[in-house]
Structure 1
Amino acid sequence: MEPSEGIHGCGGGGKKPKAPRAPPVAALSEDLLRQILLRVPDMASLANAALAEKRWYAVASDPAVFRRFDSLRRPPLLGFILTDRYAGTRAEDADVFLEDLPDVDSDDDDDEDEWRLRGCAGGRLLLSRGCDGLILAVYDPIARTAVFVDPFAVFRQSTHIVHYALVVDEADGSFLVIGVTDFMAAVFSSRTGQWVKFEGDDFIKTSGNLDDEWDWNGEDEDDIYEFPGGGIVSRRSYEEQEIMDMIFQLRSDGMAAGRFAYWRSDTKKCKHYEAVERILLLDTTTMQWSVIAAPFPPGESYCVADKPEHGGLCLFSSKEQCLQLWVRNSIGKWILKKEFSLLNEQMKKLRRDEWMKRVRILAARATYIYMEYWSIRKSHSYLLVFHLTTRKLMMFHNNADEPYRGPAFSFFMRLPPLLGPHDDWNAHI
């Protein structure tokens, strides 16, 4: 059927075709709606959109959407905790000195009742009580509430040598307390209220081969490790022994990085052999343990990061006031992806006038890197916040009278639950 003259001509009486109607909002797929909500400018806009209808709320309050939304926005940084000192101006109402921590029954002497900071993540602090660490507390210093955890059931007589890490799920506020000691680990989940132990191959899998049973015939040179003082061993056995030694000799508690918890070996440089910095890693989504070798020499400051845009696991290290981003290629080898210079005019002046030369990387979150700039000659330091995209560097002066060179943490506010207009809509994310 041919079109009527009236459609294209001047005098026809035919009706003009109607333009295609835009699909109603109700016809949008959940994937498209999810992409729309990810583009709202702030959390307040997301909350308003969630009130439009029940379906919108369901998509907005999906934990996966919330985590992605959080990763695209500027993290709500409140300040920095340098061991037992707080440096910042936006958390005056937070109990960062642990003065309001609820009391617990204890038979320890007064000297053993002090709380020790072991970790920080998601607006919570992980604390242990006394030198033996027989009581753990996950403490919210803003709400002044605590959840107490008993580690004795899994660690028994080794509670004083456990190295802990805290991982908080930003979507629902649940948390994991992870402890590592000798050749075993255990994870406490706030969702179940139970510890789960990891031992043997469930913790770190080894080949179990002994060198006196090793078939050396036809071995490639890359498969053999020769000690500087003489003697050879299979490289696999050597590396496995180094991994076990690294776990046995852990010196510090672990850190959280997105879905990962990690512990640094803090290997010292040695002129007698090629030292390697190793990282013990737990992927909390799969509960798989691994040990990775850092691509840079021991002694450099670094942190682990969880960056979906770079394939997930990546590393940020510092070298001579430069920030380096390391990612894995298709075969799992570390490559230097980007390098960022931190030496703007202000940093150069501080380096020259105050001998500020050392950059300590504290954490990486979203598109921000949190660091400390300090000198071995000065007690004070500068806290740095660097934006990876704009390369803008913000600086805060920490005018401490004494140097605080122990564990340091960037402290973030946890976002409140997203509430719907009806009680049955509410989901604590």
Structure 2
Amino acid sequence: MATSTALRRSGRRKAARTLTEIPEYPDRPVAEIPGRPVAEIPDHLVAEIFLRLPTAEDLARASAACVSFRRLVTDKSFLRRFHRLHAPPVLAFYDRDGFHHPLPPHRSAPAASALAAAADFSFSFFPNHLDWAVQDIRDGRVLLLCPGECQQRQVSMELAVCDPLHRGYVLLPPVPEDLVASVAHAATEYKPWCEPFLVPIDEEAETAFGVIWMVHFHTRLAALVFSSSTGQWQAAASKEWKDLFLERGESTTVSPIDHDYHKRHYAYGCFYWESSETQKKELLVFDTRSLEFSISDLPPREWCPLGLAIVEAGEGRIGLFGILDEALAGKLDLCYYIKGNKGESSGNWQLEKTISLESPGRPHDIKAAAGTYLLLGKLGAMQFIGSTPQRLGFEYISVDVKTLQLERVCTKSSGFAFSKTWIYTNFPPSLSSPTV
């Protein structure tokens, strides 16, 4: 007991020497300053100190100092607080060429390399994995879909949630036909357009997960939700397209092209889709808390195709990154807007920053966004091999929303460079409940 107490006190003294400074002696630890004895730090103050450590790696090192530090750091309530304050790092991204992880000198490179060595991103642990396709990635988990022999997506297709790190998976039950019929009503003259995606992990039940089937019928849209807690699908929301646009004071006469939305984004409990119509400056919004659909306006600018992303700007505000279409001016700018910034109305977009993308002849596009990170793609420089001009791969750049710092992630062959891309962040909890 005496030894354990001594180790605990020693660990607390190390934290005080490392993390506390006295203004009169900025270069000397507290323990070395005359007349400044080190008192034992209460647990709640140690927790506040640890919450201010810059990275999860620093937190892991601190937890190794003594048993009481480890007990505090592994407490679920503390970890939830830490994760709310510190966005998970970019550990990899996925496109049709597979998974790619950041390389040095990117700050996520060490953790990404460790993940790449530990995880099975080929899904070899999943039966018939070559017949399944990635549909979404969130919180370290991957949603797979089995197209089967059908060429068009249907709500009846098979889905599975995989965990590449722990090599586990869960097969989802099929969506009941009567459930689909209950939200379709008379809107069956056209085959619906369907999109499955993952819901962010519930902080209170980390092993649980949710999946949404968004179904776009000709005259209405609907959301079907699966919860791993209940093991069942249920209808969450539905809305007539005419009612959605009537709320905005627009015509109630709709056609299929009037509600063509794509490229999904997520921030603070809401999913967003861009309109595919270049004339429409709007987003389709689904709020997972109120289970309501709505339409939100975009800043009235000329955006490049594949040049938008919604991110979490902090303090519950959403941010928007967009690449301006200024080809005639011979330049590319990445603009960052925040909705409701600096006390303004929550309905207004405020320009926060303009970043010049100085690469003449090398177009950029926004590949993906997750939480407080953005992933940019840039065509490599042109070089001649003999008399044939060829691009030197495709360069990927991450943008930290908090600092607006740009970092080179890696370079890959152009291959499927323009395919859909997802960012992989976070080390997920196992899909299975912990066992002794």
TM range (shorter): 0.5 to 0.7
Query: What is aligned with 1:123?
Result: 140
Question: Conserved in 2, the CA contact under 8 Å of 1:67 and 1:170?
Answer: no
Structure-1 separation of matches of 2:335 and 2:201:
28
The 3 A distance-change label for structure 1 pair 246 and 173 is farther
Question: Conserved in 1, the CA contact under 8 Å of 2:133 and 2:146?
Answer: yes
Matched residue type, 1:145? G
Structure-2 separation of matches of 1:289 and 1:55:
43
Which residue among 120, 131, 134 is the counterpart of 1:95?
Answer: 120
Question: Conserved in 2, the CA contact under 8 Å of 1:267 and 1:276?
Answer: no
Structure 2 unaligned blocks of 5 or more: 1-36, 104-112, 325-331, 383-389
Post-superposition offset of 1:184: 1.1
Moved over 6 A (4+): 21-24, 156-160
Structure-1 separation of matches of 2:94 and 2:138:
12
* Other structure's SS at 2:60 match: helix
Structure 1 residue 191 corresponds to structure 2 residue 229: yes
* Other structure's SS at 1:127 match: strand
Structure-2 separation of matches of 1:382 and 1:316:
19
Post-superposition offset of 1:318: 2.6
Which residue among 304, 313, 327 is the counterpart of 2:339?
Answer: 327
> What is the root-mean-square deviation of aligned Cα atoms in Å?
4.3
Higher alpha-carbon deviation: 394-403 or 119-128:
394-403
Structure 1 residue 249 corresponds to structure 2 residue 260: yes
Query: What is aligned with 1:144?
Result: 167
Post-superposition offset of 1:177: 0.8
Structure-2 separation of matches of 1:194 and 1:54:
38
Post-superposition offset of 1:160: 7.5
Structure-1 separation of matches of 2:314 and 2:362:
33
Post-superposition offset of 1:295: 1.8
Query: What is aligned with 2:274?
Result: 265
Post-superposition offset of 1:407: 1.0
Matched residue type, 2:349? I
The 3 A distance-change label for structure 1 pair 362 and 401 is closer
Post-superposition offset of 1:127: 1.2
Structure-2 separation of matches of 1:260 and 1:246:
27
Structure 1 residue 164 corresponds to structure 2 residue 196: yes
Structure-2 separation of matches of 1:56 and 1:246:
54
Structure-2-length-normalised TM-score: 0.64
The 3 A distance-change label for structure 1 pair 416 and 99 is closer
Matched residue type, 2:127? P
Q: Percent identity?
A: 20
Post-superposition offset of 1:44: 1.1
The number of residue pairs the alignment matches comes to 344
Question: Conserved in 2, the CA contact under 8 Å of 1:321 and 1:342?
Answer: yes
Structure-1 separation of matches of 2:375 and 2:281:
25
Structure-1 separation of matches of 2:318 and 2:126:
35
Query: What is aligned with 2:106?
Result: none
Structure 1 residue 236 corresponds to structure 2 residue 259: no
Structure-2 separation of matches of 1:126 and 1:404:
21
Choose between structure 1 and 2 for higher RCO, CA contacts under 8 A separated by at least 6 residues: 1
The 3 A distance-change label for structure 1 pair 313 and 286 is farther
Q: Which has the larger radius of gyration?
A: 1
Post-superposition offset of 1:415: 5.1
Question: Conserved in 2, the CA contact under 8 Å of 1:166 and 1:255?
Answer: no
Output one character per residue of 1:301-360: Cα deviation in whole Å (capped at 9) or x when no partner: 222223333x333322233242413222543222224114254xxxx4xx24xx312231
